[in-house]
Amino acid sequence: MKRHLRTALTAATAVALTAALAAPALAAPSDGGHDATRQAVRAAVADGVPGVTMTVRRGHGTWAATAGVGNLKTGKPRSTADHYRVGSITKTFVATVLLQLEAEGKLSLDDTVEKWLPGLVRGNGHDGRKVTLRRLLNHTSRIYDYLDDTGFQQKYMTADGFMKHRFDEATPEELLAFAMANEPYPESDEPFNYSNTNYVLAARVIEKATGGDDYGDEIERRIIAPLHLTSTSVPTTRVTLPRPSSRTYSKLVKPDVGGPTYDVTELNPRLAYGSGQMVSSSADLTRFYSALLRGRLLPPEQLKEMKTTVPSSRDTSRYGLGLVDRELSCGVHVWGNDGGIFGSNSDAVTTDDGRHSLAVNFNGDWSGSTDAIIEAEFCAGRGALPVAQQATRMVPGPVGS
């Protein structure tokens, strides 16, 4: 689900943001190589994002910056070391583990969902016997997205529902039940239909193929530990973020409708499961995507599979296996993913050779443009549009993107 909210902040929020903008906006020292990026980060805060934290990795060097605030009540700035919920960036980790299992001969991406999860994808026209694991990973399965189910939305995505159920542990089976209560997406000439349900199922397949280990344990053992991603985790039911971290904010209303700003920092991340459960930092995400594209996590055959794309819902991007190929305005291609979960919007990308990476997070889910920041970093001096002329992106919804 996508959001397009462009409403003004409440008076208290506006005061906090005004104070933040009046002070020096960025924590990082001046660096002429990132002037356009710095301008785009400031523009995001001016557009209404409470605070931004980001890291750029070029070769062996890194540059990090923040803008705005991490706490609207106290005015405390964001930290370049902030932990945050990464939403659908989790999908790249899940897809990587499945491809590792394929490389080890433990499964095939041409296996059906029914083979690994018998009887789980059934009802209202859904049939796991006709869906392969590959079609889960590239969103061509046509399986209904549990986020689109009205029952799920009423229970978790309205203000009243979220406040009542934010600490519930939604099981994978509950999330799948929301999806199976609906018909599959209709067949068409363009088979791509983004569905968070695909990655709930993919995570369950990992657990089946590894003898019952939690999919998060496999991500820890296979990716987090080898790459020394010290700020990255797959929390189970921990409702708080590791320190340092900022508060996160949401409108908790329908798109294009104004309303109060809610602090949504604490929640049970199991609500998103394999579609968006993870926590990380900008530094860790740049390290992960750089290592992935450099071939440190997958053999060449599996990395090639991951980078085999289908047209997505956005004209400038194509979707691989948990990995998105984006063509920027200057013709540069970057690989990565973005993700949204209540109060947190994130984006992480890298060049094909893994040598130039960027990860950014907003601690508000209703405004701002991570696309503009990416364009500024990778296209400055290459004929990119000025930041002010770039279209504002469709911001990810509260759980998956």
- Supply the residues annotated as catalytic: 88
Task: Note the helical H segments in 24-158.
Answer: 35-46, 90-103, 113-116, 133-137, 150-152
Q: How far apart are CA 246 and CA 82, in angstroms?
A: 7
In sequence order, the 6+-apart residues with CB closer than 8 A to the CB of 296 are 227
Q: Please give the structure tokens belonging to residue 398.
A: 């509260």
Sign of the four-CA dihedral 296, 299, 302, 307: positive
In sequence order, the 6+-apart residues with CB closer than 8 A to the CB of 257 are 5, 7, 251
Q: How far apart are CA 371 and CA 360, in angstroms?
A: 10
User: In what order do the strands lie in the sheet containing 51-58?
Assistant: 61-68, 51-58, 356-362, 344-351, 333-341, 324-327, 317-319, 310-311
First-to-last C-alpha distance (Å) of the chain: 6
Q: What φ, ψ does residue 322 adopt, rounded to 5°?
A: 75, 10
Q: With beta carbons less than 8 A apart as the criterion, state whether 9 and 49 touch.
A: no
Q: How far apart are CA 120 and CA 180, in angstroms?
A: 9
Q: What is the largest CA-CA distance in the chain?
A: 59
Q: With beta carbons less than 8 A apart as the criterion, state whether 221 and 210 touch.
A: no
Report DSSP state, residue 233: B
